[in-house]
Amino acid sequence: MSGTDPWSARPDLPPGEKPPAEDDASREWWDDPRMPWTGKPGKKDLWCWACVALLGIYGLATLPLRAWLLGLNTYALAAFSGSNIAMVDIGARLRTGHEPYWWAGLLMAALTSIKFDWIFWWAGRLWGHGIIEVVAGRSRWAARTAAIAERLAKRFGGPAVFLVWFVPFLPSAIVNAFVGDVGMRLRKFLLIDFAAAVVYRGIWMYAGYRIGAPAKDFVHTLSRYSNYLTYATIAIVVIGTVVRSRRGRVSPT
């Protein structure tokens, strides 16, 4: 019918007003509410987001290498991943024999444990609470643990960087992002983080020292089956990712 408002099918809009574009294909990739930034990202945003995205890929891709290093050399594993198992093994070997370079293993493990922590500090500096929302939005469990970690950071500030190492299941990324957001200097952040890593890895080494030969035998046995454990871990990660993806597609908007 001539004279009929073509937008009359949208009674929620004023006469003559066009509805907003709802075609996701016309939206830029960065214009997504799931992204941590507001507005068009700059070069720093893109570099930081690439680093965050690569962390998960790196962790999954290096799982087989960790299993191989466990059977090859304990110190290599400590230097590569800061493994608690490597710390236990070095501590047990210190108890049962001559192990003059235990301190080097501890320092290497502490350093490699914090090698990527600056990324979430930087993300917090760039995007503030936006990156915290990204981490918390992965799952209900992530949301709960992220909320606890954020409360810890708000209450203790800088010392929370140290404390989060010793609270099981709390994502340190949340605390790192929070202190970056509130303006903690990178040097101070890394010093606190490194001190916590030394103490934490040292506790595992001391546990191996106290247990002695049984701990050494356990690590040897574990190294024999490490490849199978790696394959099982990869399968669990892949299946979990697929399940979350399907749930996201079928969830109501």
122: in domain = yes
Q: How many domains does the chain have?
A: 1
> Residue 158 — very low, low, confident or very high, per pLDDT cuts 50/70/90?
confident
26: in domain = no
Query: Sign of the CA dihedral 123, 76, 214, 93?
Result: negative
- Alpha-carbon torsion angle 220, 82, 236, 35, nearest 10: 180
5: in domain = no
User: Is the pLDDT assigned to residue 213 strictly greater than 60?
Assistant: yes
pTM of the entire predicted model:
0.77
Neighbours of 35 (CB within 10 A): 17
Closest CA to 128 of 185, 174, 192, 190: 174
97: in domain = yes
Taking the C-alpha atoms of residue 154 and residue 148, their distance in angstroms, rounded to an integer, is 10
85: in domain = yes
Taking the C-alpha atoms of residue 43 and residue 99, their distance in angstroms, rounded to an integer, is 48
Q: Which residues constitute the domain of residue 182?
A: 43-248
33: in domain = no
52: in domain = yes
Taking the C-alpha atoms of residue 216 and residue 112, their distance in angstroms, rounded to an integer, is 23
pLDDT digits (tens, 9 = 90+) for 5-20: 444 444 555 555 555 5
Amino acid identity, position 172: S
Mean pLDDT across the stretch 162-185? 92
Taking the C-alpha atoms of residue 172 and residue 122, their distance in angstroms, rounded to an integer, is 14
Query: Sign of the CA dihedral 170, 171, 175, 181?
Result: negative
Taking the C-alpha atoms of residue 250 and residue 171, their distance in angstroms, rounded to an integer, is 28
14: in domain = no
Note the pLDDT of residue 5.
45
Neighbours of 126 (CB within 10 A): 21
